Amino acid sequence: MIELRELTKSFAEPVLRGVTLTVPRGCLYGLIGPGAAGKSVLLKCIAGLVTPDHGEVVVDGESLGSLDELSLQRVRRRFGMLFQNNALFDYLTVGENIAFPLRRMGITDESELRARVADRLRAVSLPGFEDRNPAGLSGGQKKRVGVARATVNRADIVLYDEPAAGLDPVTSQKIFDLLRREQRETGATVVMVSSDIDRLLTVTDRVGMLHQGELLFDGTTQEALASQHPVVKQFVHGEVEGPL
């Protein structure tokens, strides 16, 4: 379970303003909201990559802010993460990119690494891509390689930042279906940021909406779709009655 308690974070301006929410274990949680609402920053706080100014992130009873660096690294090994820009290493092959988290965990057996990379590539419908260079991949293929890397360690917490950004509608739906299938197979707790609201809501269990750094809504997908809150309704259904 992931608990966020009164999280605040500012850079030049406030980004998060007292965000409190709980993501139940085994839930696929969708995080939505306008641009610059704080979604990506919140995701990085959960991963321990950004330290909040106030409040705390608690993962299965452990407050990240109270951990020393060694303990924080131990908790981070439980995470998989897909960054918004995929963050693939151009100087590594596809296979080496996917194996990277396993090597960070200390796995050095080459046969095991090859087997686990091949398994993930089959899972994302890219069998035989081990020796490809990321620069020669399409946008959808890069996303799928990113998903393979995020899930190769079978993490029990996975964070996805805009997994379908820039993809056509058909490829986008395939990516969301893949992520849902992965989550169901592993039972992982997933938090997913996406601007593709229509397709995101086909796979989520719960939804949170950030607006101007505050958590404006937190509930089931069905409750989000039925919400009469004017800002939530406008954003979820794409209405254009007024500015967000």
pLDDT digits (tens, 9 = 90+) for 174-205: 888 888 988 998 899 999 999 889 899 999 99
Question: How much is the pLDDT for 145?
Answer: 92
- Distance from chain centroid for Cα 12: 25
The ranges assigned to domains in the chain are 1-20+29-75+176-187+202-244
Show the CA angle centred on residue 159, arms to residues 227 and 23, nearest 5°. Answer: 50
Question: How much is the pLDDT for 242?
Answer: 53
Closest alpha carbon to 134 in 87, 166, 83, 80: 87
Query: What average pLDDT does this structure show over 135-146?
Result: 89
Whether pLDDT at 89 is above 90 = yes
Question: How much is the pLDDT for 187?
Answer: 92
Quote the CA–CA distance of 221 and 206 in Å, as a whole number.
Answer: 5
Give the architecture-level CATH label for domain 1-20+29-75+176-187+202-244: 3-Layer(aba) Sandwich (3.40)
Whether pLDDT at 239 is above 80 = no
Quote the CA–CA distance of 95 and 114 in Å, as a whole number.
Answer: 8
Whether pLDDT at 63 is above 70 = yes
Quote the CA–CA distance of 19 and 193 in Å, as a whole number.
Answer: 16
Query: What average pLDDT does this structure show over 213-239?
Result: 92
Question: How much is the pLDDT for 175?
Answer: 84
Question: How much is the pLDDT for 76?
Answer: 84
DSSP tally for the chain: helices H, then strands E = 9, 10
Query: What average pLDDT does this structure show over 228-237?
Result: 91
Look at 42-46, 63-67, 84-88 and tell me which has the smallest mean pLDDT: 84-88
Contact 1, 24 (CB under 8 A): yes
